[in-house]
Amino acid sequence: MRIGILAYDGCFGSEIFTVSDILRIANRIARERGVAAENLFRVSVIGAAATTVAAAGGFAIGAQRWHHRFDLLVVPGFELVPTENVDDRLTAWNHEIDFLRAAERRGTRIASVCIGAFLLGEAGALDGRKATTSWLFASQLARRYPRSTVCAESLIVSDEHVTTTAAFSASLDLATAIVREHLGVEIARATARVTLVSENRTSQAPYIVESMVRAAHGPFADAVGRWLVERLTEPYDLPRLAEAFHVSTRTLLRRFRAEAGRTPLAFLQEARIGAAKRLLSETDISLGTIARRVGYQDPGTLRRLFTEQVGISAADYRRQFRSHAPARSAPLGLTLR
C-alpha cells in the first residue's frame, strides 16, 4: 500500500512523522507475527517539488516530488491561532490544493489531520461529505465550507474516500485506524500497546474548553444567551423567556435558531454541561451539589446529559481531568459562546 504524506511550508512535522513511524512499527509487528511477509505500508513524504520544506518552527523536512499515484494521501495540519485569518494562510498553498483537487477527481483516498481539513475543503473534497477537525476550529470550518457537515465532537470521520480527524494527537488515532483496516484488529492493538497509544478514543468532546470556542451568533441570540446564562440555575421557561424579549415563543425560537443554529434549550444545556465540566475538574464538591449549581435538581439528569454530550461519564471526566489540588468551591466562570 503506497501512502504519501504531504509536506508543505508551515505544516506540523510531528504529524508527518507520527503517521510514518506508527505505520513503520506496525509493519515490523506484522512481519514478526507472520501476518505479512513484507512491509505492507510503503510511506513517502512528498511535496510540490523535490526540495526541502520549512515545517512549523522552521524545521527542515526533505520531500520527494510527487510523481506516483498513491493509495492514500495524508495531509497534516498547520500552525494557526483562532484570531488569525485562515484565508491568508491558504493562498500560500495553491500548488498543494491543486494536487489534492486532482487526487480527489481521481477518487484517491485522502485523509487529513487536524486543520489539514481546510486544505481538503479548498480542494472541494469536503463538499457533500461529513468531516471533522480540531474542536477549536470546527465552527470556522463549517462556515467556510457550508456544503460539508462538520461533526465537531467526532475524533475520526470517514465519508466515502475522504477521512478527516480531530486535533494534533489524532494523527496517532489515524495511523492506528489505518493499521486496523489493513492489518487487522490484533496488529492494531499490538501496535497501540507498544507505542502507548489509546485504543478506545472515539470523541474529542471531553477535551473541549467551551470558553475557547468562538461561535458566530447574532445580536439577538447573544442577548438571549446572556439572559439564560445569568439564570443558569433557574428552570427553563420558554414563555417567560419570550416575554423578556417582547416576542412570541415561535418568533423567539425562529430567530435564535437562525443566529445560533440550535434551540435556546440546547444552548442552555450546553452551558450547564460546560459549567459542570469546570466544577468537576477544579473542585471536589459532590455531583449532587454540582447538579444543583448548574440548574438540575436531579443528579441523574446531569449524569445522563453529561454522558450524552461529552461521551464519557461525569465520574470518568473528573478522574481524567481533575486538577491536582482542586478547590472546595469555585465560581462557574461561564463565557457566552
Q: What CATH number is given to the structural domain containing 276?
A: 1.10.10.60
Instruction: Let me know whether 57 and 186 are in one domain.
Output: yes
Instruction: Let me know whether 278 and 152 are in one domain.
Output: no
d(CA 187, CA 194): 10
Domain C-terminal end among 180, 204, 228: 204
Least-confidence region, from 111-120, 135-144, 194-203, 255-264: 194-203
Is the residue at 328 inside a domain?
no
Instruction: Let me know whether 246 and 188 are in one domain.
Output: no
Domain count, the chain: 2
Q: Is the pLDDT of residue 184 over 90?
A: yes
| pLDDT band at 94; cut points 50, 70, 90 | very high
Highest mean pLDDT among 2-11, 148-157, 251-260: 2-11
Instruction: Let me know whether 172 and 215 are in one domain.
Output: no
158 contacts 127 by C-beta, under 8 angstroms: no
Least-confidence region, from 38-52, 150-164, 212-226, 259-273: 212-226
pLDDT in tens, 36-80: 889 999 999 999 776 899 999 999 999 988 877 899 999 999 988
Instruction: Let me know whether 158 and 37 are in one domain.
Output: yes
What confidence score (pLDDT) does residue 336 get?
Answer: 42
Is the residue at 98 inside a domain?
yes
Is the residue at 143 inside a domain?
yes
Question: For residue 156, what are the β-bridge partners?
Answer: 165
Domain that residue 39 falls in: 2-204
Burial 120-143 (b: 16+ CB within 10 A, else e): bbbbebbeebbbbbbbbbbbbbbe
Q: Is the pLDDT of residue 97 over 70?
A: yes
pTM, whole model, 2 decimals?
0.71
What confidence score (pLDDT) does residue 335 get?
Answer: 45
pLDDT in tens, 203-212: 777 776 665 5
Is the residue at 279 inside a domain?
yes
Is the residue at 331 inside a domain?
no
In this prediction, residues 136-151 reach a mean pLDDT of 90
Is the residue at 171 inside a domain?
yes
Domain C-terminal end among 170, 188, 204: 204
Instruction: Let me know whether 179 and 264 are in one domain.
Output: no
